[in-house]
Amino acid sequence: MDASVSLRELMRIVIVGHVDHGKSTLVGRLFHETGSLPDGKFEAIKAMCERRGMPFEWAFLMDAFQSERDQGITIDTAQIWFKTEKRDYTIIDAPGHREFIKNMITGASSAEAALMLIDAGQGIQQQSRLHAFLLSLLGVKQIAVLVNKMDLVDFAEGRFREIERTYTDYLGSLGIVPTYIIPVAARDGDNIVNQSARMPWYKGPSLVAALDSFQPAAPLSELPLRLPIQDIYKFDERRILAGRVASGRLKVGDTLVFSPSNKTARIATIESWSAPARDRAEAGESVGITLDEQLFIERGDIASHVETAPMETNVFAAKLFWLGKTPLHLGQTYRLRLQTREVNVIVESIKCLYDPESFSAVASESVGRNDIAEVVLRSPALLALDGAADNPRTGRFVLSDGGNIVAGGIISLEGYPDQRPMVTVRSGNITAVAHGITTAQRARRNGHAGGVLWFTGLSGAGKSTIAMAVEQELFRRGFHVFVLDGDNVRRGLSANLGFAPEDRAENIRRIGEVAALFAESGQIVITAFISPYRTDRQRARLALEGSDATGGFHEIFIDADIATCERRDPKGLYLKARTGEIPDFTGVSAPYEAPLAPELVIDTDALSVGDAVADVVAYVEARFRRLE
């Protein structure tokens, strides 16, 4: 590899500020002064201006849409490239109009440093304040303030110092210390590349010198490991967990804990294609790893080292900017996107709103478009997260509504306890039926409908194993779920029944009725019985359909070949059945009537337990979350 390829560094700089404070002019001048304009561009801009009968307009360098040129406003973020002796730059020009804040955020979010323009004549305006506030939320820490149009105030030092003092105070309240405050006249090029002779009182660096002194964004490799799982691939015999390392480092042999499920495994390999083999990776890399053990892991899990795992909680405070067309309201539900995880959250409280004029905190019941607020969000499921102060990458999130991104925010965990120790505790979680409460009310509170997942299949097919694992996973996700199996039913409800066909039918009838009651109470019930007869299962279906539960009856065929089941034979039952020690054994000496039209088939000959669980969980997510 040629060493010169990587020697030049690239930095991304965003230019922000109130509309008409001269952003596009500054960019044009910067390009002109550093000889960065492509051939023919100057002439093309000149021609466009002449066609419109207007004086030469630098903004046309960035404004690419005809409507932008015609109206003289920047609608969407533009990007353009230039270089100094020291390095290459991508310049991002962000619109200054308040109505295009979403585009300003789009542009500024990827910047490593920002130039904030303030018109020397007009002074600090609303967008000068809002943009700085947004930069602080976006995590852009290096800021050079350019007090522009100094020519219009006769290069007066007094005016410059006044703006410098007021704005530094405001930035200080946001925790921002501006790296430089530079007086410029962008149109004439004062203090852009060379020191301006018209402002001898200014002793600091020119704009280009200031740019060159900014530090590249610090890599997050030194922070604890966070690997949000993006996808799981099984293109060939490998089962690869794919994701981008958000922070920290990992290497083959490391023990990882996957949050929020708390499962652990070791990294077996780091996979790659057409690249040298490697045994370690760090922040920023898109990797694929395999584990020494098959765990049920899915998109949204976060891998970390055991001793530096993220916090687990279902409630947190956040500072957010709202971009939605309709206001954010107290009590409303939105989709939280936390790295690759997606889960519903409810706005539990609005702690304060920052007044768009004064940016002081005020009380409010809602948050309007382009406003900044502090809120508390609660999720039914456990979330693995970091405070933004600890990890700028995993400490931020977006909210979406109807598929559209409506907010971005940073997390504060102060005062919230870590719930990780409680994850492994299983609760009885049976709620009593209270009359006068509607099924819809229960579903709204639970975040899902009640219903029955009726597992059926041969002994040894995997019903109980899958049922228990599904229960665990659904519970973790905030579902109200309970498994009815031989152990908890035979001991009490059906203690007076044996295993003769009629006793078995009665047993199934009772289970069907109990399951329907549970479902009516809002729970998702999983039943794990062989239930070999179609009529018995049909009766259970009718019991549920006769109830008020809205989640439905879902017959799930846990399908495995009898030979497989007999080979597994966890309790030695097939052996006893073959020797006649157990009479009427399903599949051996009694029939099994396979479902004719099950809602879901889980082929445990082909699927691992983890994959089977994933299929059932995905099925439940798709059907029980819809609340009518």
Q: Residues 261, 477: contact at Cβ < 8 Å?
A: no
Please report whether residue 300 would count as binding another protein according to CB under 8 A: no
Please report whether residue 19 would count as binding another protein according to CB under 8 A: no
Please report whether residue 268 would count as binding another protein according to CB under 8 A: no
Place of tokens 């020119």: 206
For the CB of residue 588, give the shortest distance to another protein in the complex, in Å: 43
- Measured over the CA atoms of residue 410, residue 412, residue 418 and residue 423, the dihedral's sign is negative
Please report whether residue 79 would count as binding another protein according to CB under 8 A: yes
Helix (H) or strand (E) run with residue 250 in it: strand 249-251
Phi and psi, residue 504, nearest 5°: -65, -40
x/- site string to another protein, residues 108 to 137, per CB under 8 A? -xx---------------------------
Both tokens assigned to 489: 């039913």
Q: Which stretch binds another protein (CB under 8 A): 104-112, 161-169, 347-355, 508-516?
A: 104-112
Q: Tell me how far apart the alpha carbons of residues 81 and 61 are, in angstroms, rounded to a whole number.
A: 12
Q: Residues 338, 420: contact at Cβ < 8 Å?
A: no
Please report whether residue 505 would count as binding another protein according to CB under 8 A: no
Q: Tell me how far apart the alpha carbons of residues 397 and 508 are, in angstroms, rounded to a whole number.
A: 47
For the CB of residue 335, give the shortest distance to another protein in the complex, in Å: 9
Q: Which stretch binds another protein (CB under 8 A): 75-83, 144-152, 422-430, 583-591?
A: 75-83
Among 173, 358, 360, 404, interactor with another protein by CB under 8 A: 404
Q: Which stretch binds another protein (CB under 8 A): 205-213, 255-263, 281-289, 495-503?
A: 281-289
Please report whether residue 225 would count as binding another protein according to CB under 8 A: no
Among 30, 115, 138, 474, interactor with another protein by CB under 8 A: 138
Q: Residues 482, 488: contact at Cβ < 8 Å?
A: no
Q: Residues 283, 273: contact at Cβ < 8 Å?
A: no
x/- site string to another protein, residues 23 to 42, per CB under 8 A? --------------xxxxx-
- 3-state DSSP call for residue 186? coil
Among 244, 351, 568, 625, interactor with another protein by CB under 8 A: 244
Residue whose CB is less far from another protein, 7 or 597: 7
Residue whose CB is less far from another protein, 55 or 403: 403
Q: Which stretch binds another protein (CB under 8 A): 8-16, 151-159, 366-374, 565-573?
A: 8-16
Q: Which stretch binds another protein (CB under 8 A): 102-110, 162-170, 248-256, 570-578?
A: 102-110
For the CB of residue 40, give the shortest distance to another protein in the complex, in Å: 7
Q: How far is CA 462 from CA 239, 296, 507, 573, in A?
A: 22, 16, 20, 14
Q: Site residues for another protein, window 546-605 (CB under 8 A)?
A: none
Q: Which stretch binds another protein (CB under 8 A): 101-109, 117-125, 451-459, 578-586?
A: 101-109
436-441 LR contacts (CB < 8 Å, sep 24+): 439/520, 439/522, 439/548, 439/549, 439/550, 440/550, 440/627, 440/628
Strand runs labelled E in 500-597: 524-528, 553-559
Q: Which stretch binds another protein (CB under 8 A): 114-122, 279-287, 326-334, 470-478?
A: 279-287
Q: Site residues for another protein, window 44-73 (CB under 8 A)?
A: 48, 51, 62, 64-67
Phi and psi, residue 333, nearest 5°: -105, 135
| DSSP-assigned beta bridge partners for residue 281 | 250
Please report whether residue 102 would count as binding another protein according to CB under 8 A: yes
Q: Site residues for another protein, window 314-353 (CB under 8 A)?
A: 323, 337
Among 126, 215, 286, 308, interactor with another protein by CB under 8 A: 286
Q: Residues 407, 324: contact at Cβ < 8 Å?
A: yes
Phi and psi, residue 171, nearest 5°: -60, -40
Residue whose CB is less far from another protein, 23 or 149: 23
Please report whether residue 276 would count as binding another protein according to CB under 8 A: no
Q: Which stretch binds another protein (CB under 8 A): 225-233, 302-310, 478-486, 610-618?
A: 225-233
Phi-psi region for residue 392, left (φ > 0), alpha (ψ -120 to 50) or beta?
A: alpha
Please report whether residue 428 would count as binding another protein according to CB under 8 A: no
Please report whether residue 5 would count as binding another protein according to CB under 8 A: yes
Q: Residues 194, 209: contact at Cβ < 8 Å?
A: no
End-to-end, the C-alpha distance of the chain in Å comes to 60
Place of tokens 């069907």: 512
Determine the residue type at 44.
Answer: A
Helix (H) or strand (E) run with residue 481 in it: strand 481-485
- 226 DSSP assignment: B
Residue whose CB is less far from another protein, 231 or 584: 231
Q: Tell me how far apart the alpha carbons of residues 398 and 513 are, in angstroms, rounded to a whole number.
A: 43
Please report whether residue 9 would count as binding another protein according to CB under 8 A: yes
Q: Which stretch binds another protein (CB under 8 A): 159-167, 271-279, 412-420, 424-432?
A: 271-279
Q: Tell me how far apart the alpha carbons of residues 11 and 113 are, in angstroms, rounded to a whole number.
A: 8
468: exposed, middle or buried (C-beta count within 10 Å: 0-12, 13-18, 19+)? Answer: middle
Residue whose CB is less far from another protein, 19 or 405: 405
| Contacting positions for another protein (CB under 8 A) | 1-2, 5-6, 8-10, 37-41, 48, 51, 62, 64-67, 75-81, 90, 102-103, 105-106, 109-110, 138, 219, 230-231, 233, 235-236, 238, 240, 242, 244, 271-275, 282, 284-286, 288, 299, 323, 337, 396, 398, 400, 402-405, 408
